Structure 1
């Protein structure tokens, strides 16, 4: 019987363990043993893999069900840049176990690592069967219209925007501007999700800022002033990184922060775009601005899991065993269409990022997301109970 190695890469999501649970569901009787690599490929040479075989047994169904509902990443994760030493260690560990199948659950970096592993193994004349399962809250993975993890993170953003706006309305004689900063770094999929529960023009968000649309500070301040005059409050949702008209990072001069192993500034650990905008609005307009910066909390809450996203993650994990049986050479990754149909593509096609398409921009408002985005994406966050609007006076 064949043996399987599996690892989880990149930032955890609320449902990444659901994908792992799905893999373990389908592993029996396809694989005699399943091993988990700790912290992706980073510590393969120094940390023995975990034997997950017991979790594949029919008698372990309850444990797998609990695992599927557990946040974080059971195997640990990593953002370390993969080196030849890491790849060599993976081959050594797998060959020691007589294994040729390996599965990575992750996003852009994980798919890149799997492609590197495929090329490295081929250069050493080692026959590996490599499969990638998509995961990312950013929803920027080529080949995944809705990546597992996005639906739950998007649900958090949509609920945070809608629900805090009720708090904001109650305090609008004290607070002038609320700024909610979302994760997302290079793409605006999560910030755009803030519109998914918006019902009326006066509802939050009033302004959505994404990196795909450069932000002119003067135009933004003018819009904030106008909205505050008309509504008495302004709710802004911003991506954690924005682009200025000259192509630089907005507010970069005050956003010094540490860098990761890839040399990228970690803006989420710096002053932050939301705080920069709050200070800009206060200094230029004299409006009191409050910045909400939930950061990684938005990807971790089990109370905000989208059931649609959860089922997709579980189904994706179960489907990976079918990819191991495909005859095509090279690393393969699971794909997910907009209708949630599962397919596959070469892993190398999953390298890179998919920005929020311009088709989802509001063409008449540089600070808004088009209604067609909500039409397309609303279902991925699952069912949400409506709130009471019986005495609304501002719409």
Structure 2
């Protein structure tokens, strides 16, 4: 179905993009039949789906291939359905964090807020934007399930895949709640940060997509442990890299303003390590600025310097290296089909050695 390109993500991307485009085109017609007023809803949803690294479909696909599944057309819509779940999570996450942008474009709730303002409608533009985004996220969640069920894979395989599929949805929502909870608690615990990463990112981004692929291929019980050893370690490393980019990344690459995670007051592992390692006065200064939406570039630079100077950045980089080593060791298992082993090794690099 696809030629062999430069990376295991690229191998999957074209087919996944095609499946998403075909599915959304059918659903666009359905929404517009309900009413032309739904056109901005579809446009916002399509804008969210147009971006993204397609990592979750890639891990699902290579989890399937690692379990002995073949390169058949039906696996692509099943894997692509995870992009709708990802869109749901990101849309709702931006509402929770009150983020202005996503991938260099206005966040979904901001798009709909601007529509309200341009149209001169009554009531709160912000409230309309947030409410609309919640509904669009819910629509993505429903369509994720619909796309998975309609993939064309045998019903027995789809039933087997439901266990990790359903567990993944529960875990990511629970992880999001824990993330919110640690924010309001003002948590400074390394352990709490790791727990949030485990459920909000690691399991959802890598481990569960691999499990779904294995289950669809009929080898979930046999491969679950191997894929967990690989996926949880790599998933935490992936999220750690994401958190470091949220503070030290180039806005041209990340699509978000520099230091945006500091303005939002995200209780990441980098923050926990900084507050644990910094001298008392420096920690107090960092704590005082964390979560200030009006942080200046100069203050962001100062907070970066504090995180670097106390060794927190280096500690996070060491953790990434350690998790990468764990994931690499897991690939030595003879249970993984040889045709997928090198792709899963390449995905370690794709998930951790990145600029956005």
Is TM > 0.5 for Structure 1 vs Structure 2? no
Q: Rg: which structure is higher?
A: 1
* TM-score of the superposed pair, with normalisation by structure 2: 0.26
Structure with bigger strand share is 1
Q: Which has the higher contact order (CA 8 A, sep 6+)?
A: 1
* TM-score of the superposed pair, with normalisation by structure 1: 0.24
Structure with bigger helix share is 2
